[in-house]
Structure 1
Amino acid sequence: MPNVRTLTRSTLDRLLGPAGARVITLREEESSRGRYARAVQSLYDVYVERVFPDLREREGRLPLLTKLVGTEISEAMFLLHWLQSARDSGEGDVVEMGVAQGATSALLANEILNDRQHLWLYDSFQGLSRPTAEDRLIDDIENRGSMDSYESAMSFPQQLVRHHLASVGFPTERTHIVAGFITPDVRELPDLVAFGYLDFDLYKPILTGLRLLGPKTRPGSVLMVDDYRYFSSGPEQAVRDFLSEDDRFELVVGPESAGHFCALVRR
């Protein structure tokens, strides 16, 4: 006869089934995490060997890559490449606009941990802003049925971001967290930007972010935009509109096999 544990698990599995969930043991979870960590290590090694052989190693990088949420490992490799390139080309701080849980923030923080650069993080902490006419739904990633239904989606508390930064030991005196929806009149900005990662998902905040950061860049600076040609049509339109205003940047679109992103490299 099946024991109580087996019966309990079977019952819970039937209850959770309609929600697409099931019960797993701690051993199964640990095994799954181990397999994922090994997969990340393998992909990382391939990228370093074949794509970015000049990428310098950084202690603590691999565990942070395994903890990323919403950012593919392949995209993160391009992020690390452009971050290194931007930093090697001159001075300037590092910016992330649209930080969500703060997992990517921790990755960025770890890369500049031993330097003087400050980390500037912008997020509403109230979820996505209201979509505009430029935001046509391309990929209904949460099966919400319409673009308008994504307003206020993907909201995470600021404390979660601070927790991720603390986990890598990033100094609070070099941390600037700016809460609230991004607007053209934001005054809390770095004097000089080496690298910016914009992940606001929608047209208006992406364009606003680019307009705010563009004047703060110098030759060699990189502004990377996530969700380019993905989720919403807004990010691509924002990039195009910004480039029509400022011709100092070269547009580099990432390969589709690696994700949905682009980089604006300052000439």
Structure 2
Amino acid sequence: MCEGSTMPQLAASNAVMYELAAENPDMTDLDRLTNLYWSLCSVLRAGTPGDVVELGCNAGRTSVLLEMVLEAEASEASEEAGETDRSLHLYDSFDGLPAPSAADRYLKRGDCKATAADVLAAFARRGLRRPEIHAGWFEDSLPRHLPDRVAFAYLDGDFYASILTSLTHVWPRLSPGGSVIVDDYCDRRLSPRAWDGLPGVKKACDAFFADVPARRRVLVGAGDLAFAEFRKPPDGR
């Protein structure tokens, strides 16, 4: 767990990470979970203001981890950052993926379908606080339902248009020092093992950040993790 957390919290979170990875190793493997874990911890420990959002939550397995970290760190983070509460906001069409563009491959319209009930059941099984769930296509839900300030965002939209829409709406609300993790971002130069099945994701990120200052880190794991983190500079520019 983050520095300063108790050993029982650490043991509980580690156990859940193994459990989540076993449930669906293709979508919630340990490489993903551990990188999300430490990136979110670093944002919380830095006192970065704002809520946590996940765009493309599917059945809520990674969402469970994000909420566990929020709850475990709530009191200590609130004292250090002046935050009284941080909410977890989840976004998904719950109708599967939209139609792919020419930049996309591997997945098709309607794939990766889950329900809001699946998400709530995953939270209820672990006794976690109910998240804020926003159903609908990103272009409809994000302009109306994103929190005013975002400290941490996990983007798992799979396709070019979904990632570009996500960045367009999330980045202006991201607090200085905030973090955006993008799944399926494959940079074989910096991460030779990375899975390259969804090339539209990197194309969308490269297009968005061509004129937007950000600190990019390509993350790695023991397997074929394709992950990138984009941090907003401390001056907010």
TM surpasses 0.5: yes
Counterparts of 1:117 and 1:241, CA distance in 2: 31
Identity %: 30
The reply to whether residue 119 of structure 1 matches residue 88 of structure 2 is yes
C-alpha displacement at 1:62, in angstroms? 2.1
Counterparts of 1:80 and 1:235, CA distance in 2: 22
The equivalent position to 1:77 in structure 2, one of 25, 30, 34, is 34
Q: Residue 215 of structure 1 corresponds to which residue in structure 2?
A: 172
Q: Residue 20 of structure 2 corresponds to which residue in structure 1?
A: 67
Counterparts of 1:157 and 1:63, CA distance in 2: 25
C-alpha displacement at 1:186, in angstroms? 2.5
SS for the counterpart of 1:195 is: strand
The verdict on how the C-alpha distance between 1:72 and 1:194 changes in structure 2, with shifts beyond 3 A counting, is: same
CA RMSD of aligned residues (A): 2.1
Counterparts of 2:144 and 2:50, CA distance in 1: 17
Counterparts of 2:181 and 2:170, CA distance in 1: 11
Q: Residue 199 of structure 2 corresponds to which residue in structure 1?
A: 233
Counterparts of 2:95 and 2:203, CA distance in 1: 24
Equivalent residue letter for 2:61? A
Counterparts of 2:211 and 2:128, CA distance in 1: 36
The reply to whether residue 182 of structure 1 matches residue 148 of structure 2 is no
C-alpha displacement at 1:256, in angstroms? 5.9
Counterparts of 1:211 and 1:245, CA distance in 2: 12
Check the 8 A contact 1:109/1:168 in 2, yes or no: no
C-alpha displacement at 1:101, in angstroms? 1.2
| Poorly superposed stretches of 4+, deviation over 4 Å | 53-57
The reply to whether residue 252 of structure 1 matches residue 217 of structure 2 is yes
Q: Deviations over 1:187-238 (max 9, x none)?
A: 1011111111011111101111111110111221000000112321111011
Equivalent residue letter for 2:20? K
Greater Rg by CA: 1
Counterparts of 2:62 and 2:208, CA distance in 1: 24
Counterparts of 1:133 and 1:236, CA distance in 2: 14
What 5-or-longer segments of structure 2 have no aligned partner? 75-84, 187-195
What 5-or-longer segments of structure 1 have no aligned partner? 1-47, 141-146
* TM-score normalised over the length of structure 1: 0.70
Check the 8 A contact 2:33/2:65 in 1, yes or no: no
Counterparts of 1:197 and 1:55, CA distance in 2: 24
Count matched residues: 202
* TM-score normalised over the length of structure 2: 0.79
